[in-house]
């Protein structure tokens, strides 16, 4: 029923906030962004799924090979020019099966059902459907509904005939005008606000917050100790430490006295957080050691360049103390209790 084309972008030239990690391989609990997209493709019929990237496509291919079983319906295309969104789509044509195509960016968090998106595309009779999210803040202020594209499209195979086989081709700038000139229908469909493209740390943290708050991680070996807070096996938290969710602590983590963790935060297996340190919206890989009185906020810690998930065994990295930035104070601790998903007074816990 559906072919998938995942446009993974310019792998290897990511913005600094990813610390060299390709955005499609950014970690979520037990998975990565692109694994979620490939999983959605496999659940949505017997069509092909082709991953197209500009540079180092083999990095993504090797990652998926390690993390998922071999699948003859999964293909790869290296865009060496680059050719743009539409150009990549056209270049993938030989690997597709001729069905309707769902096109998505490789760093999209797709929280909508692809089959439902397909049905909405068909119901409107579109040659090309642009999926969008709403601007709730503008709607609340003006009463108007404005839409913004989320990097996901659905198109009929005939759309590929309107894309030149060579040169740079953009979907919005070249292909949509060509379709309209040919009298073909182009429409927009609103998706849920949780479907979005991860373009910066802010959007990534928003996705982490939704996944950790609403997800279930029992199958991954974690135990829920409070709403939105999950512990792996043999996690030990000192009585004076504080955890404000959502948060996921990997197996064997140690949180020392008066340490404060504020979510969304993920600690990989075997992490150690020193006493009186602060971690605010942090993703730390296995074995990370945060020294006492350190302050770390809004960043990856020890994320290896090609691992793509938290459980990766990087070299240990110790963060130096920065005691001047944060001090434990009663007003701040009192305010944190209003956030709801918090853990107070947990002693030595062995799951």
The 3-state secondary structure of 106-117 reads CCEECCCCHHHH
With a cut of 60, say whether residue 346 has pLDDT above it. no
Whether residue 238 is found in the same domain as residue 340: yes
Whether residue 77 is found in the same domain as residue 118: yes
Provide the H-helix boundaries in 184-304: 201-214
199, 228, 250 - which closes a domain: 199
Into how many domains does the chain fold? 2
Whether residue 255 is found in the same domain as residue 284: yes
308/64: higher pLDDT: 64
Tens digit of each residue's pLDDT (9 = 90 or more) over 207-229: 999 999 987 888 888 999 998 99
148, 169, 199 - which closes a domain: 199
| Cα–Cα distance for residue pair 141/139, rounded to 1 Å | 6
Residue 134 lies in a domain: yes
With a cut of 50, say whether residue 39 has pLDDT above it. yes
| Cα–Cα distance for residue pair 305/35, rounded to 1 Å | 17
Residue 242 lies in a domain: yes
- Give the rounded percent of residues in the chain with a pLDDT score beyond 90: 50
Quick count: other Cβ atoms within 10 Å of Cβ 15?
A: 11
Specify whether the CB–CB gap between 210 and 225 falls below 8 A. no
Whether residue 265 is found in the same domain as residue 176: no
Tell me whether residue 39 is exposed, middle or buried, using C-beta atoms within 10 angstroms of its C-beta: 0 to 12, 13 to 18, 19 or more: middle
Residue 204 lies in a domain: no
Whether residue 235 is found in the same domain as residue 170: no
Whether residue 192 is found in the same domain as residue 229: no
With a cut of 90, say whether residue 37 has pLDDT above it. yes
148, 165, 199 - which closes a domain: 199
Residue 251 lies in a domain: yes
With a cut of 70, say whether residue 15 has pLDDT above it. no
Give the pLDDT of residue 323: 29
* CA-based nearest residue to 339, from 227, 214, 248: 227
| Cα–Cα distance for residue pair 297/343, rounded to 1 Å | 20
Report yes or no on whether pTM surpasses 0.85. Answer: no
52/81: higher pLDDT: 52
- CATH number (domain holding residue 33): 3.90.550.10
What radius of gyration do the chain's Cα atoms show? 22
Residue 210 lies in a domain: no
Q: How confident is the model at residue 4 (pLDDT cuts 50, 70, 90)?
A: very high
| Cα–Cα distance for residue pair 53/37, rounded to 1 Å | 15
| Cα–Cα distance for residue pair 105/186, rounded to 1 Å | 19
- CATH number (domain holding residue 292): 2.160.10
Whether residue 194 is found in the same domain as residue 272: no
In angstroms, how far apart are the furthest CA atoms of the chain?
Answer: 69
With a cut of 90, say whether residue 64 has pLDDT above it. no
Give the pLDDT of residue 304: 44
Tens digit of each residue's pLDDT (9 = 90 or more) over 73-119: 899 998 888 888 999 999 999 999 999 999 999 999 999 999 999 99
Determine phi and psi for 210, rounding to 5 degrees: -65, -45
Residue 261 belongs to domain spanning = 219-344
Residue 233 lies in a domain: yes
Give the pLDDT of residue 19: 72
Residue 167 lies in a domain: yes
Tens digit of each residue's pLDDT (9 = 90 or more) over 265-281: 999 888 999 999 999 99
| 350: helix, strand or coil | coil
Encoded tokens for 18 = 């990813």
Whether residue 149 is found in the same domain as residue 282: no
Tell me the mean pLDDT in the region 34-60. Answer: 86
With a cut of 70, say whether residue 336 has pLDDT above it. no
Give the pLDDT of residue 136: 59
Determine phi and psi for 140, rounding to 5 degrees: -65, -35
With a cut of 90, say whether residue 351 has pLDDT above it. no
Q: What angle do CA 255, 253, 205 make, to 5 degrees?
A: 85
Find where tokens 């070299």 sit: 315
Whether residue 179 is found in the same domain as residue 234: no
Whether residue 189 is found in the same domain as residue 55: yes
Arithmetic mean of pLDDT over the chain? 80
Give the pLDDT of residue 90: 94
Whether residue 107 is found in the same domain as residue 135: yes
Tens digit of each residue's pLDDT (9 = 90 or more) over 171-198: 988 999 999 999 999 999 999 989 999 9
Give the pLDDT of residue 142: 58
| 298: helix, strand or coil | strand
| Cα–Cα distance for residue pair 281/201, rounded to 1 Å | 10
């Amino acid at each position: 029923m559906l072919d998938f084309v995942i446009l993974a972008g310019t792998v290897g030239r990511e913005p600094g906030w990813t610390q060299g990690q390709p955005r499609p391989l950014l970690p979520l609990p037990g998975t990565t962004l692109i694994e979620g997209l490939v999983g959605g493709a496999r659940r949505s019929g017997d069509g092909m799924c082709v991953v197209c990237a500009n540079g180092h496509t083999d990095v993504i291919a090797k990652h998926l090979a390690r993390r998922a079983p071999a699948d003859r319906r999964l293909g790869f295309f290296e865009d060496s020019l680059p050719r743009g969104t539409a150009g990549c789509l056209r270049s993938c044509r030989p690997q597709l099966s001729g069905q309707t195509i769902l096109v998505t960016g490789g760093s999209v968090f797709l929280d909508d059902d692809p089959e439902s998106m397909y049905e909405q595309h068909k119901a409107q009779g579109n040659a090309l459907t642009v999926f969008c999210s709403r601007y709730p803040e503008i709607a609340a202020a003006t009463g108007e509904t404005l839409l913004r594209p989320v990097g996901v499209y659905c198109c009929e195979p005939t759309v590929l005939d309107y894309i030149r086989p060579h040169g740079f081709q953009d979907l919005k700038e070249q292909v949509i005008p060509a379709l309209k000139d040919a009298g073909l229908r182009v429409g927009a469909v609103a998706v849920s606000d949780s479907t979005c493209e991860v373009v910066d740390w802010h959007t990534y943290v928003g996705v982490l917050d939704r996944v950790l708050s609403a997800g279930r991680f029992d199958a991954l070996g974690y135990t829920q100790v409070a709403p939105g807070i999950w512990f792996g096996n043999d996690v030990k938290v000192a009585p004076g430490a504080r955890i404000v969710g959502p948060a996921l602590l990997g197996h064997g983590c140690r949180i020392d006295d008066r340490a404060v963790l504020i979510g969304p935060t993920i600690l990989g297996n075997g992490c150690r957080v020193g006493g009186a340190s602060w971690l605010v919206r942090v993703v730390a890989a296995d074995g990370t050691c945060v020294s006492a009185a350190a302050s770390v906020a809004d960043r990856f810690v020890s994320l290896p360049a090609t691992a793509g998930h938290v459980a990766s065994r990087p070299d240990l990295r110790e963060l130096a103390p920065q005691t001047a930035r944060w001090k434990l104070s009663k007003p701040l601790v009192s305010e944190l209790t209003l956030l709801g998903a918090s853990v107070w007074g947990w002693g030595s816990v062995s799951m």
